[in-house]
Amino acid sequence: MSSTARLDDVVAWHDVECASYDADLPLWRELAAERGGPVLDIGCGTGRVALDLAAHGQEVTAVDSDADLVLALSTRARAAGLPVRAHTLDARSLDLAGRRFPLALAPMQVAQLLGGEQGRAAMLDRVRAHLVPGGLLAVALADPWEGTPVAETEPPVPDMREEDGWVLSSRPMAVRPEGEAVAIERLRQAIAPGGELSESLYTIVLDLFPPRALESLAAARGYRVLPARRVPETADYVGSTVVMLEADG
């Protein structure tokens, strides 16, 4: 495999930048134990949350808009013999043929990747249609700067992963405001087994809005707002507020 091909590997870079995060897993396990399954995992990626919950005895339905990530999750679940069903679906147009869940999760910054308030409203409506009466939607929201101006923020340390002789590194290089969002620019570097280095820039744009804005939007769409939960920050990752929304019966 050429280094250029490796830079185009969506699954590999998702694993580099997301797979090692585990600070939120105890909360998802707790909610799943309280509410029961099956659990709906929204924006599942390669299965960081879905595979963990399945390994703890939960049946999981996982959705993501990226077909490559969904295929990777399905392959990993089958290899491990875990009860995960993965589907290539966008949360804003979610349709699982009438299936309903007592618990839906939107981990990490999934809700901040929906293209503004209209996208968030669409997600809330479609998820509510898939919750049982009294079902819970838990949505994690991160503000990496906790009120600090973006221009004054030091980027975090790089994420790294070794795989099949490759060394992959993703370093946040800059953050800049873009209206009601923030753009995070990353330098992705791939070192091939033979030592060849290649690199590219990748930018992700996150919507920035306070948890209370999502709570107000959800309350107007048939949700009951419960007290928010908190995922603490770690040495490598910022913390997050988890908005807790219960579907009215």
Instruction: Specify the pLDDT at position 9.
Output: 87
Instruction: Specify the pLDDT at position 88.
Output: 97
Tokens of 55: 């390994």
Q: What is the C-alpha end-to-end distance of the chain, expressed in Å?
A: 53
CATH 3.40.50.150 domain span(s) along the chain: 3-143+209-247
- What percent of the chain has a predicted confidence (pLDDT) above 90? 59
* Cα–Cα dist 179/167, whole Å: 35
Given a contact cutoff of 8 angstroms between Cβ atoms, the answer to whether 170 and 158 are in contact is yes
CATH 2.20.25.110 domain span(s) along the chain: 150-206
Rounded to an integer, the average pLDDT of 192-219 is 91
**What fold characterizes domain 150-206?**
N-terminal domain of TfIIb (2.20.25)
Class level of CATH domain 3-143+209-247: alpha beta
Given a contact cutoff of 8 angstroms between Cβ atoms, the answer to whether 160 and 190 are in contact is no
Position 208 pLDDT exceeds 80? yes
Residue 234 vs residue 83, higher pLDDT: 83
Position 107 pLDDT exceeds 90? yes
* Cα–Cα dist 140/25, whole Å: 12
